[in-house]
Structure 1
């Protein structure tokens, strides 16, 4: 039970301490989950579309947040945002096979 209480307190603290980063983390988690689902079921193209759209949204949010409020790990956040944008654009380009 203490493990669940610790997990819950950590979850609540992270949402209160830095809400934009928490939302970005949730969007990236959903993007990865949808991408893995699409990988195992390649005929289900909506999973690829959702994964790409979540990744684009998270990357843009990270980039804008770093422009407005720079953090000590600015280069790492910027690099991961660019990698997510490139991967999601390749995913959206792959969606043309389904049209």
Structure 2
């Protein structure tokens, strides 16, 4: 029971400390899960949902970095742009296979 209490307290603290970054992390975690499911089960809704979550998280990261830059601003922006480009490439590939 202590282990669950520790994880719950950590979860609450992380969400209160920096809510936008927490939501972005949650979106990227769900995107990884959806893309993993899409690689196992070749079903388009999982792929579309995973790519949509990556696009949303990347745009959120870019907007947050534009408003309040972090110490690792350059690396964060490059990573977000890379994720955005890869997800757009995934959407284009998905549209071409229709």
The residue correspondences of 1:1-99 to structure 2 (distance < 5 A) are: 1-42=1-42, 44-99=43-98
TM-score normalised over the length of structure 1: 0.92
Q: Unpaired segments of 5 or more residues in structure 2?
A: none
TM-score normalised over the length of structure 2: 0.93
CA RMSD of aligned residues (A): 1.1
Aligned equivalents of 1:89 and 1:38: distance in 2?
Answer: 17
Report the CA distance between 1:31 and its aligned residue: 0.9
How many residues align structurally? Answer: 98
Aligned equivalents of 1:94 and 1:34: distance in 2?
Answer: 17
Which segment drifts farther, 74-83 or 62-71? 74-83
Q: Unpaired segments of 5 or more residues in structure 1?
A: none
Report the CA distance between 1:76 and its aligned residue: 2.1
Aligned equivalents of 1:84 and 1:32: distance in 2?
Answer: 12
Report the CA distance between 1:98 and its aligned residue: 4.4
Aligned equivalents of 2:96 and 2:66: distance in 1?
Answer: 35
Runs (4 or more) in structure 1 with deviation over 6 Å come to none
